[in-house]
Structure 1
Amino acid sequence: MSFLTEAEPDRGANLPVLPGISRVVANNPGPMTYYGTNTYLIDTPDGTAVLDPGPENHPEHVEAILRHTGGKVALILVSHTHHDHVGAVPALQAATGARTAGYRQSAIDSFTPDIGLSHGDRIAGMEAVHTPGHASDHICFARPGAEGDRILFSADHVMSWSTSIVSPPGGNMRDYFASLNLLLGRDDNVYLPGHGPLLREPHSLVRAMLTHRMLREQAIARKLSDGPADTYTIMDTLYSQLNPRLRRAAERNVLAHLLKMESEGKAVRDGELWRAA
């Protein structure tokens, strides 16, 4: 797969992305977050909406959001409830009084959206697109853009710089496959991900991600045909050259594939071991 890179963004800066859309990148870089979480500031018919306020314990990021919006936030949108996206919601809501909107069934007890959204609902000129897989409550937001652009805020479902982790129980590989296929059936032509740069002509990458997952599943099936194995052994075989910092995430992906295969009658669990069905 061909991924995009970008220069490290200026922290606290209001970075133009597309007409009516800018981003502020949180200072939480890492192997799972690239240079940090993208917080999008979006012009809507109701005022400025903030999508994904970022991680907790980063007051300088909340201060930057407030500075660039003048403290006038009409709505706080949440793509999903992983901490690097939802952690700063309480601080931003306390500072602005803005209502929150996210998937109607939150995956964490500490966040319940003021406005619960279902697939296909519309809010602030955008369409909610439920895309479970990376997280059970993952939502993308779609809206028209300038010059024929059809924009999808793809959050962590599809990112331009890397594949996404699917970590059970919140992550579900069968749902992830279905959500990738869902996006292939849509006509969005610009993705704005939760980490990393803008992605144009995204369908080729979505197809590559789906193919990558299918090939990974086939490799797991071949490994099981050699005999029972646990998730670590499978990961160690398939990801032997991987950065050590990413091996735990890779093992979670393996487990997600195995659970999908189990649900489809292709694998059987026996304690810590898995074997071909």
Structure 2
Amino acid sequence: MREAAPPVGQPLAAAPGIRRIVAPNPGAMTGNGTNCWLVDHPGGTAIIDPGSDDPAHLHAIRAAAGPVTHILLTHTHRDHLTGARPLGAATGAPVCGFRHSAVADFTPDIALDDGSAIAGLTAVHTPGHATDHLCFVTADGIVFTGDHIMGWSTTMVPPAPQGSVRQFLDGLARIDALDARLLLPAHGPSITAPAACIRALIDHRLTREATILAALDAVPATLEDMMRRVYRAVPPALHRAAEMNLLAHLEKLREDGHAVHGHDGWRVAPGRPGRAGSPHPA
């Protein structure tokens, strides 16, 4: 669901004790920008995903927060990470993220694992979009979903080793099992019907997988050929992201025994129906 561009630098209430300030980093992959979440707890305010290092943005965060006790990262993609160290230096708050960072130049001050409790939140490891992706869950059923579930677009899932469609689907199932009442993503508006949203995301992935499988043939095709078959309507600005999504899905199809990859490209596995339903010769 798309929303009008939120006002720059102004905190927007999402729930009691929770508000967001949208970072000034809009784009094809970020929508209106990264949602920086301010979450009050008895000790002060935890900041989730500062996003931009723009001085005015960091000033707005500090002005809207109580004493900043922790800076939490859902993952280390730059549109989430960039403002973390500057905000930490300005407030003295530790930067907290998954124990095994996905980028070589970042090590969290406090390393989190699946199930870690911090600032009144519980971390849930949800790789798929990124190996170090975390969601954060409140005691009363609110989930900060980072990029795993977004309020404006489906999530880009890169191929291994950065991502995995299987892990992404497993993460959706984990979040669904929490029976959340509200999802607060890193991009786009709040999601007020979590179960329906998650079901739609799972259905989207399974439909995409079926489309890709149907586009495979006994004759090998390059990734570029597969792109033309599967993503015909994608604008050029999103071709790279679509290609990464496609490769991640092909990797899962290979894991499941439905696809084969060789030096000349991707083809349907022996004995599986190819394009137009013709079986690959065994």
Q: Same fold (TM over 0.5)?
A: yes
Q: Give unpaired runs (5+ residues) of structure 1.
A: none
Q: Give unpaired runs (5+ residues) of structure 2.
A: 270-282
Residue of structure 2 aligned with 1:114, choices 93, 109, 117: 109
TM-superposed deviation, 1:233: 1.6
Question: What's the counterpart of residue 80 of structure 1?
Answer: 75
Question: What's the counterpart of residue 253 of structure 2?
Answer: 261
Question: What's the counterpart of residue 48 of structure 1?
Answer: 45
SS at match of 1:74: strand
* 1:276 aligns to 2:271 (yes or no): no
Q: Which runs of 4+ in 1 moved over 3 A?
A: none
Question: What does residue range 128-277 of structure 1 map to in structure 2 within 5 Å?
Answer: 128-145=123-140, 150-168=141-159, 169-225=161-217, 227-271=219-263, 273-277=265-269
Question: What's the counterpart of residue 93 of structure 1?
Answer: 88
Matched-pair contact (CA < 8 Å) for 2:85–2:95: no
Task: State the distance in 2 between where 1:82 and 1:271 align.
Answer: 31
- TM-score calculated relative to the size of structure 2: 0.91
Deviation sequence 1:221-263 (CA, Å, 0-9, x none): 1111353112222122111112221122111100001111222
SS at match of 2:232: coil
Deviation sequence 1:63-116 (CA, Å, 0-9, x none): 22122226x311100000000001111111111110121111111122111221
Question: What's the counterpart of residue 20 of structure 1?
Answer: 17
Matched-pair contact (CA < 8 Å) for 2:176–2:194: no
CA-based RMSD: 1.4
TM-superposed deviation, 1:7: 1.7
TM-superposed deviation, 1:274: 0.8
The 1:267/1:64 distance shift into structure 2, 3 A limit, reads same
Matched to 1:181, the amino acid is A
- TM-score calculated relative to the size of structure 1: 0.92
Question: What does residue range 2-41 of structure 1 map to in structure 2 within 5 Å?
Answer: 4-41=1-38
Matched-pair contact (CA < 8 Å) for 2:220–2:264: no
Deviation sequence 1:147-166 (CA, Å, 0-9, x none): xxx10001100012110001
TM-superposed deviation, 1:55: 2.9
Task: State the distance in 1 between where 2:264 and 2:118 align.
Answer: 45
SS at match of 2:209: helix
